[in-house]
Amino acid sequence: QGQLVESGGGQVQAGDSLRLSCAVSGRTFNNYITGWFRRAQGKEREFVAAILWGSGFTYYADSVKGRFTISRDSAKNTVYLQMNSLKPEDTAIYYCAAGIYKAQILVIYTSQYDYWGQGTQVTVSE
């Protein structure tokens, strides 16, 4: 509930790491889910990772499992995406999203989320 503001994007080389942050304005609730999506040039927006605010349970796209870690700091109302071993195919605009959790099967779809950040650019060169 409220506005989302992403930060932490930048230009890095393959193998480097970045940590994205998403600050959530307003109060969050235990039944909320916060996720990260990305949109590469000329492609559709795709799911990256998500976390249930109350329990901390996480979901990951197969393409980032073992490399990315999503987490949240309840005291700071902030969600993070730690990105390690970055690859050129990770290059995209990354968006933070939040909404009331509906169903597990919907986690990877944009329809699960009601609030979106402005996006932050991540560029990974070879």
Amino acid in the structure at residue 121? Q
Helix%, strand%, coil% for the chain, nearest 5: 5, 50, 45
DSSP state of 112: G
Per-residue pLDDT band at 94 (split at 50, 70, 90): very high
Question: Cβ contacts of residue 105 below 8 Å, gap of 6+?
Answer: none
For 32-84, the pLDDT digits (tens) are 999 999 999 999 999 999 999 999 999 999 999 999 999 999 889 999 999 99
Give the pLDDT confidence score for residue 68 in this predicted structure: 98
User: Looking at residue 25, what is its pLDDT?
Assistant: 87
Question: Could you tell me if 67 and 77 are in contact, meaning their C-beta atoms sit under 8 angstroms apart?
Answer: no
What span, in angstroms and rounded, lies between the C-alpha atoms of 95 and 118? 7
What does the pLDDT look like over 8-33, one tens digit per residue?
Answer: 999 999 999 999 999 988 776 788 99
| Six token digits for residue 126 | 């070879």
